[in-house]
Structure 1
Amino acid sequence: MSSASVLFDAPGPRARVRNHVISGITVVLTLLVVWVIYSKLNEKGQLTAQKWEPFASANLWKTYILPGVQGTLTAAAVSIVLALALGFVLGVGRMSTHNVIRWVSAVFVEFFRAVPVLIMMIFTYFLYAFYDVFPSKHLALAGVITGLTLYNGAVIAEIVRAGVNSLPRGQSEAAWALGLRWGQTMRSILLPQAVTSMLPVLISQLVVVLKDTAIGYQITFLEMVRQGTQVGAAYGNYIPALIVIAVLMISVNFALSYFAVWLEGRMRRARRGPAPMHVGAPATQGTFAAGGGGTI
């Protein structure tokens, strides 16, 4: 049975014709909607060549776009590293054999999963400002990183816990039979296997981290979407500015997703090991031929 027909029966001739007709109607309706939107925007003068001309200026990119890209990537990179570290610690803590560690980790995870990211950003921003924890120019960045780290760390902790619990119980039992302690079993056997299976979900969550940096505009954080709206206000080209920002965000997300696919494939190949020798393979030089004493 092919992979395409595992969950449903292969369509017959009438079903294939019906699917082609529905697909054709959907494509036509989609193109019609796109054309209507384009016509409306063109009537407002938002898609004329004049509105795109500012993006050919190096000054616009240096003043608006590149600082926004730098702010977004900086906040996302730091938040991703911290959220991964926090998530793995909390995820392992939730599976700990010590009740205190398990309950503290569970309360932390459940609390910060329930609090909206924006609320955490605003709260930590004013908290840092009130106690003068960071310089004023870094307050917004610190608030964004803290909010993203706490929320996504809690989510990643659940991903880690689900990945480890999805492994066959025989893995743990074999480790215990060999005399390994719980920490050794988790570090050397369970986590390395779980990382490969949960890698796609982890990368999806890291893409969410990248996109959620846009929420930081509420605390005056310098990021891509905020800079795109400022370009639109300065040059009167909101639609082209937001299209450019969307293309940049999509490009970064695709690069991250491509890296995830490449890394997952590499890890799976590394776990698979060298290919086994097939039975009946031709003898190589230096081996004895069947029924003879010499070499080939």
Structure 2
Amino acid sequence: MTSRTPALFDELGPRGQKRLRIATIVAVVALIGIVAGAIAQLAHVQQLTARLWEPLIEWSNIRYLLQGLLTTLEVGLTGAAISLVFGTLIGLGRLSTHKWLSLPSTGVIELFRAIPLILLVYFFLIGLPMFGWNLPPFWVLTIPIVLHAGSVFAEIVRAGVNSLDRGQFDAAAAIGLRRGQTMKLIVLPQVFRSLRPALVTQVIRTLKESSLGYVVGYPELLRDGQVIGEYNANFLQTYAFTAVIYIVINFGLSRFAELLDRPKKPRRSSAAAAEPEPEPAAEPARTLV
């Protein structure tokens, strides 16, 4: 058997491994010290008292936060679905051989990638009403997320298409498929299969970006947490509890992405499993002459 060797760096020798262990121990001890110091400081300023944490176990506050989580999921899932379609279209538009399509698509991608998301939100919140367009808070928040996240996903799609072997395009042209048919039947199925983790990452991205709902007054999770913190005068505790909810949701989606990316094991059919293996043929008896 051949041993695997790292591709990017050589294996550490005994001295290097010893230094790595020492550095790891020092880093862990420093981290524990920082956490312990933070807890001690919070206890000193009386931020760990039960009075500040008890409101977070009351059903009325939990129900209020769950309503905010529901609206956050609505914005996140809606924004993710639309941004995937939008990003795919303008990503393919940028790959087009027609200048009238590739140049505007490139301009849209670069424009919305360059503008910070919060500026887009302010434009839809303040700028559009100047032209007489008054959108509901849901769309004032969702549309900027779609434009920003979709432009990022467009580059992911473009990179996925360019990473495919060019021989597939030549083979498709050899059997008479047009470019559009090649994209639809051959290229895009492979790209989306390889981009499944990126699709889940897009959902996580939109969920986190929905926290800008406080700008437009949309009652999402962080906004509702702010309201509870103001009402109970426990901002730190409420924001910590809200952060835990975000971590749980995003960790679950990340695990789901890992499961999608995990290669599937081939299954044996029941008939094949029940069929006994053939016995080796017996050698013919030798006779002595």
Q: Does 1:160 align with 2:157?
A: yes
Amino acid at match of 1:69: L
Matches within 5 A, 1:203-222: 203-222=200-219
Call closer, same or farther: CA 1:111–1:132 in 2, change over 3 Å.
Answer: closer
Q: Is the counterpart of residue 228 in structure 1 residue 225 in structure 2?
A: yes
In the TM superposition, residue 183 of structure 1 has moved relative to its aligned partner by 0.7
Alignment deviations for residues 71-121 of structure 1 (CA, whole Å, 9 cap, x no partner): 211111110000000001111111112221111211111111111111111
Residue 145 of structure 2 aligns with which residue?
148
Q: TM-score, normalised by structure 2?
A: 0.87
C-alpha distance in structure 1 between counterparts of 2:172 and 2:133, whole Å:
49
Alpha-carbon distance between aligned partners in 1 of 2:191 and 2:245, rounded to the nearest angstrom: 32
Q: Spell out the pairing of 1:260-271 with structure 2 (5 A cutoff).
A: 260-265=257-262, 268-269=263-264
1:39 — aligned with what?
40
Deviation at 1:9, TM superposition (A): 1.2
8 Å CA contact retained: 1:125, 1:142: no
- Name 1:106's counterpart in structure 2: 106
Show the counterpart of 1:58.
59
1:248, 1:227 → 2: CA distance?
13
Output the amino acid matched with 1:41: L
What is the number of residues matched between the two proteins? 276
Equivalent residues in 2 for 1:58-207 (5 A)?
Answer: 58-63=59-64, 65-126=65-126, 129=129, 131=132, 133-134=134-135, 139-207=136-204
Deviates further, 86-95 or 255-264 = 255-264
* Matched letter for residue 69 of structure 2: V
1 CA distance for matches of 2:5 and 2:229?
A: 46
State the Cα distance separating 1:10 from its structure 2 match.
Answer: 1.2
**Percent identity of paired positions between Structure 1 and Structure 2:** 34
Greater RCO, 1 or 2 (C-alpha within 8 Å, sep 6+):
2
Paired amino acid for 1:234: Y
Match of 2:6 in 1: 5
Structure-2 change in CA distance of 1:41 and 1:106 (3 Å): same
Structure 1: runs of 5+ lacking an equivalent: 276-281
The equivalent of 1:26 in structure 2 is 27
After superposition, the Cα gap between the structure-2 partners of 1:2 and 1:205, relative to the gap in structure 1 and judged at 3 Å, is farther
Q: CA contact under 8 A between 1:71 and 1:224: conserved in structure 2?
A: yes
In structure 2, stretches of 5+ residues that fail to align are 269-274, 285-289
For residues 135-191 of structure 1, the C-alpha deviation after alignment (integer angstroms, 9 at most, x for no partner) is: xxxx22111100000111111111000011011111111111111110111111111
> 1:283, 1:177 → 2: CA distance?
45
Change (3 A) 1:80 1:283: same
User: Which deviates the most, 207-216 or 239-248?
Assistant: 207-216
Counterparts in 2 of 1:48 and 1:71: CA distance versus 1, 3 Å: same
Determine helix, strand or coil for the equivalent of 1:5. coil
Range moving further from structure 2, 172-181 or 200-209:
200-209
